[in-house]
Structure 1
Amino acid sequence: MTKYGLRARVYILTIIPTLVVGILLASYFTFNRNQQLDNFVIEQGVNVIEPLAIAAEIGLSRYNREKVKALISVTHRKMSPLIKSIAVYDKHNQLFVTSNYHRNIRLLQSDPKLPLPQSTQVEIYPDRIILRAPIWAEAEGSFAAFSDGKPELLGYISMQYNKDRALLLQFRDTTVALFIVLFGVLISVLFAFQLSKHVTQPITNMVKIVDRIRQGRLDARVEGSYTGELGLLKHGINSMAKSLAEYHEEMHQSIDQATSDLRETLEQIEIQNIELDIAKKEAQQGAKAKSEFLANMSHELRTPLNGVIGFARQLLKTPLNNNQADYLLTIEKSANNLLAIINDILDFSKLEAGKLKLERIEFNFRDTINDVVTLLAPSAQDKHLELNLLIDPDVPEGLRGDPLRLQQIFTNLLGNAIKFTHQGEITVSITLVKKQGQQVVLNASVQDSGIGISKEQQAQLFQAFKQADTSINREYGGTGLGLVITQKLVQQMGGDITLESEPEQGSSFSFDVHLELANMVLGAPLPLNALRKLSLLSYEPHHLSQKVINGLAQQWQLNLQSVSDQQQWQQALAEFNGTAVIGHSDWNSLEPLYQKITEAKQKQLEVIVLVNSSDPDVHQAIIDAGAKYCLSKPLNHRKFAQALVDDLQEDVRVISPISRASRVKLQLKVLAVDDNAANLKLISAMLNELVSQVDTCSNGLEAITKAEEQHYDLILMDIQMPILDGISATQKIRKQSRNQQTPIIAVTAHALAGEKEQLLAQGVDDYLAKPIDESSLEKLIHRWQPNAKQLTTNNKGLTAKPSTSLEFENSSLSWKLAMQRANNNQSLALDMFGMLQESFDEIEPAIQQLLNQQLDVDEFVLIIHRFRGGCAYSGCQRLEDLSATIEDSLRQAHQVTEIEPELLELSDEIDKVKQAAKQLYQQLAES
């Protein structure tokens, strides 16, 4: 049954239209009748008041109250009870006379704020009508004055007319209309009942029969005599029942046969299921063995094959006869085909079983974080940023976890902070959140005062290949994977990473990591007993740097006196006896620092200087000024402790490179332009030993600005740079600047045929290939400035004991070559190598994106070009050769498929360099 049956629908469709039509007609006639009655009453009232106003004119003009009252009283009595009251008001709107004074007499008065009525007015209320008519002085023989030829308004007459009779008639008419509507509805109900009885009863009987058929009683039939559509429905139901009975019989026979067949089929399926289950287990075991084998053999398969390809290509570069060259080309082609197949298999195995697993090894937490901060400190110092590491004294030093992945997290966050901060400070803070049993939860944050990140940019910051700056000429570069990797690593360590940032207000990345306590603290122990005996006077204007010193003093139980301004410094010097620690941030202006060293030395104090620079020349100049030790910020706790107890090894004292004999410098002003920080740092170091003044900038736009402001004797211009390339910058300098005639030397790692000729044709004067050799640079300067004035500088005052010699050679890293490229400056060589390691975070994801066709070839060429420049000065000859091969191949053929083996070989070589770096740093620590 439906919600509304046929009976209900008959009633609804019969009664509702009648009810609606009746209500509408009754409403119309009632409303019309009420309007007619109201109009009649108003018309009757107007016919009374207007003659009355004319008749009252003589009495009002003569101010005869008795006459007017008699007039209105007669009218009131004749029209009672229709008229409740009549009142006459003079021209001042004051009551003159009334026929019936009552408490609501003021209702008859016109609003005092409005002018007197000039014509008949009608005010209709639910139970009464107020009429007002003006009284004019226009009767013959009137004593009233005339104004401007018009009769004067003497006042007005007001009358309250009752609607009682009209309301009674309206009620009567409404009641009659309502009874008529109800009578019509009653008639409709009677008709609907009769119609329902003759239609719904047969249908109800048929529904019952259909329900019996549905229950399986197929012999049920509809009885009775029906005509029209009901008769057709009766015959249809009976025919359906008969057909169903026949089909039911046939179905029973078919079911019996199908049941017999199904039994046989089920027996066969059961046998097949058993066989399939056995085959499935065998296949799973085979797949598992295949995945484990491929996962274990990935490096062993790819490494020797990359070696075959690499050495085949190296052999092709040697003199060969035709047969030998043909054989080698065949070997290379076959190896490339095999490598493509192996890579496909390895990619499939990674999808099945390749997941990152964190190590659980014991390590020294403070040393691990110090390594990251020390590695990235030069980048911050070059931008004059104050970098601080604040580790809470409650944080345990001996922990168990994955130090390499932990360093990767801090490297990504700190590297981003340095990249996006142009001035101010960067602070790395680490605190203990919880320590329960062997479990330790640490909270770390990296705060900067950089450009900040908007809410829209934050929404896509932790998405792969997404960056805040997505424009074509991105200022900061990068692949957009660093933060995604960081987030995944933090999550695998049981924590989560959050970001708080506002544009131009800096950013703060905060995350938690879950680690375990180590059974023992690794690393050399600190001389705590000797430290407890010391008295320390610390002068540090920068409050965060002072906070670092205070934390170490508290942890080591030092007797520390801290000052932060000149007045406090002078007062403390007068009474202090011990070691003075002087912090200085601006390494471009050392005179204030020299003054404080002199003041401390006059008090016979030992001086340790903390300077925001890793430049060995700056350190040596500070030591020459009287400091006992010069340490770089951010403060390394081990070096600081050893310096305090005078137990520092010889190589900790920062000394200049191996002293040379008197060096001839040229009085020249040179501008060096390069977007690679490592290249720029090295070429600046080389130029500072050859010329009197060196200016640097990192892109072509900066070079144009400096060329417009100053004149230079020589400009060294990198070719491929962001924002504005070297060729465009050269052409603009030639057109309009102070250096239109200045020799401009192209410095590039390109070695393609015809490259030098193309550059010379585009406006440069000469060509200098990377990696830059000091002798080649010196020859080039003398060639273009043969008449430069010579300045002789004697370095005897800077002569110091040479740095500890370090012998480290393997196939991936040659420290001897790195020292040669760094002009035998070990500190500079270490900086160059550190910058190369930083670039791994950019090149490795870029390789995977290129292989997966997620990165544009032109963008990868820019990345590999920057990477190649860093390799040139770090002693990684094989890494440099692979980068050069990949870059040159992409520039010529622009096909990724042709260099896939080299890309995979480059990834393997980067892993080898990382392993060599660990051995190198371990050897440095032990030396």
Structure 2
Amino acid sequence: MSLVNTMRIGRCLGGRKVVKKWPGSVEGCRLEKKSRGDVQKIFVKNITFPDCTWSFLFPFISPFASLIDSFSPGHVQTQMLNCLWAGREGLPVYSPGRPGRLEIFLMHPLAAALVGLLFLVGLTLIVYNLWRVTRQKKRVEQKLSEKEQQLRDIITSTPVVVFQLNDQGVLTVLEGKPNAAYNTPVEQLVGLPIEKVLKDYPEPLAQIRRALSGQPLHTMLRFPKLILETHLIPKFDEQGKLMKVNGVAYDVTARVRAEEEIRRREARYRSILATIEEGYYEIDLDGNFVLFNDALCRILTIDASQLASQNIRCFMTSEAEKQFKKLTAQVLENYNNVKACELQLQCEDGRVVYGEISISPIVNDEGQIIGFRGIVRDVSDRKAAEERLRQYTADLEMTKMVLEEQAQELAETIEELQQAKAKVEEATRAKSEFLANMSHEIRTPLNGIIGMTELALGTPLNAEQREYLNIVKTSSEALLTIINDILDFSKIEAGKLELDPVDFALRDLVAETMKSLAIKASQKNLELVYAVDPEVPEQLNGDPVRLRQILVNLVGNALKFTQEGEIRLEVRRLQRNKEDSEAVFLQFTVLDTGIGIPKDKQARIFEAFQQADGSMTRQFGGTGLGLSISARLVELMEGRIWVESPANPAYLAALEQQTIRCPDQKDEALPPPGSAFHFVVKLKHPVGTSHQKPNVDLTILQPHPVLIVDDNSVNRRYLQDLCRSWNVEARAASSGPEALALLPAFLQKSGQPIVLLDMQMPDMDGLAVAKQMRTSPGGERLKIILLTSAGLQVTNPEELPHLLDGFLLKPIKPSELLDAIFNVLESKVETHAAEAAAMSKAAPQKQRLNILLAEDNPVNQKLAVRLLEKMGHHVTLAGNGEQAVQLWEREFFDVVLMDVQMPVMTGFEATEAIRRLEASKGSRRRTPIIALTAHAMKGDRERCLRKGMDGYLSKPLRIQELKAVLQQYQPEGKPHPVS
């Protein structure tokens, strides 16, 4: 860039004149040029003329600036555009893209001084003006800043958002609190396009686009948590082009939400009014209807369009209108509600109804009552009912007098009945106590009869004497059974019968019970069978004595009333109870083919002293207590008992055949109908350790096949289940011919073939089948075990060893069958019996005991003494409790057998006296005292133990029980052999 033609130097004295062009004759002028980008800076330093030297001491920005040189005063004035200063040593010239001009004027010294003075004055004025302008500017700026801050505070403190968009939709101004709608600070929103700011809110963005198109807009911008009432005003330039859009938004979220809630409540309010059965009304102060529901129209029998223009007083009688006016005045005066009152309403159809009306004030925002509202109920039916009730009340008052007299008579009757009931209960208790005492008194001599008979049967007797004594024993035991039933019933009536739960083996109990009745069944040629489902646990916890008693009663009852066929006992497990995991519910079924029970008699057979027919007592005997006692025992076991009759399958089949038979065919005699007794009891899983099974190696049986021959399906299934439980292959045949047909294939199996053969079968009995099996090819290999329900009676006993390898008496226990099979296989196994025998051999001999017997009954004395002496013990006899205490003090006894009921001093009193004597003497040894009682009632055992006794035996004394109890009290030391 060249400044030769763009700058000039001149002198001015009363005028402007160019003196010298520069550079020309200017001497000693030094120029410095610096470039920075597009900006060029030329520094003029020390311009020297031929006659003077000018030094630039500071920059010249103002056209009035001047400087004074010490040698030759003069004035230099510069007029430039955009003059920039780069230091105190030079004058910068800034001329980007266009020429600049530097003019230097030389002046006379006097003029220069005047100019300098003027310059100072002007400079002072300029500085003062600049200071004043600057101060005023600062004040204005401060006021503007305060106004701006005040406006910003107002905007910030109110729910208002002020914003501005340019013509491109960019947010240039934003004041307020938009964060609730857009979770970004305000500083970050300014400068962003509105498209980006509202990209997640398409509906508000669409409305703002309308404003950017030049259309003023007043709308609601809805955000998820915010609603803004927005005014958008476009601004245009002189040519009508959009410059910007100013916007103001008000936060109306709460107001809109409240309005919406009001609308929802109003809609719900109207829907409730439409559904309620009572009439609803709202009226103004003059009584004109403002609001009502359909129920009110129904009550007044008028259409809604007609009711809207009516007054409520038009539907009231004159008396009701006066009363309503009085009530509304009361509301206006006290501003309170009026409870429902009854008014007569005149319906549109002319009817007069009773309406129950409530009145409440309608209050505006200023607290002024502007109308009334209330509920109208049609109580015409109630009024009619009240009228009828008044009539009824009058009638009842009349009836009350009669009833009071009858109530007095009834109270007297109830008192008499209560007294009679107390007497009956007292008589029942007395009867129960009498039965218990009588049974005790009867059992005492009866025990002597049975005991002495057993002792006599143990002596040498001829056949006739033995027969007579057996009859005495059988009759005594039958009488004892009856006495026991009466005793049990008396205990039940007195509420003293309780269960004694212990662990027991159910299958052994069932088998032993059925076996004890097998002889009676064989005497009547009846088949006695039983089956226990495999799902039934082996060990259970319950009262086995009472369960056996129920089974004996039911099976014995079936034996009594069955003349032919069979008696079957089935046991199965019912579904488990999820709530009681310890409970085991079993169902027992006793099915017979007897005479059956008529349906009209079935309900009474479980009552005491009742049978289905009085003639049965004469024909079959019995007290009628067995089933009643069984029913009570089942109830104690938390079960139930019921009967079905007819239940004989043969009878039911024959009855069905007779029903479909043609009328001209002759009816055949039907089989006995039979009956089925069912009962369910609740037992539990065993409490103690499980019962140990015999130490038997069952794998010895597995190679040997078994053929079961029995015409009874229950027996076949029972034997097959046993074999399967032992993992033994078993085939079954229902008759002799079927078994003989299976024999060739059966003999081809490996191992030792075993045949379980029933004796009593139709057409071909067991012995006949055995003979043919022996004579068949390979029959000598068979091991045949005969199963019979009665004794084995044959014409040629000498042939039995060649035909049979063993026989068992039915019903069969699993252990008996197992022993029989092992015996025929010639494999000896160690069972519980063998273990017991080994233990008895290894056990030391019993020691002779010195026993004190306290018994007042002479017969029982002789019986007990004889039994104890036969066991080898020494017995000292005391006739009552007092003698027993005296003998105990004088002599040492190993055991005391103490009768409970004795004269002078009872067994309980004697026991307490002995225990007191032991305590007073400081004896370390406690004499064992065993209670003897004929009551055998539940609770006696606990009472005996509480009184200080150590054991308990019920009469009649059983030899094995007595031995077991005495064995517990064998003294220590070297035993003395029993003589």
Tell me the TM-score range normalised by the shorter chain: 0.3 to 0.5
More strand per residue: 2
Bigger relative contact order (CA 8 A; separation at least 6): 1
TM-score by length of 1: 0.33
More helix per residue: 1
TM-score by length of 2: 0.32
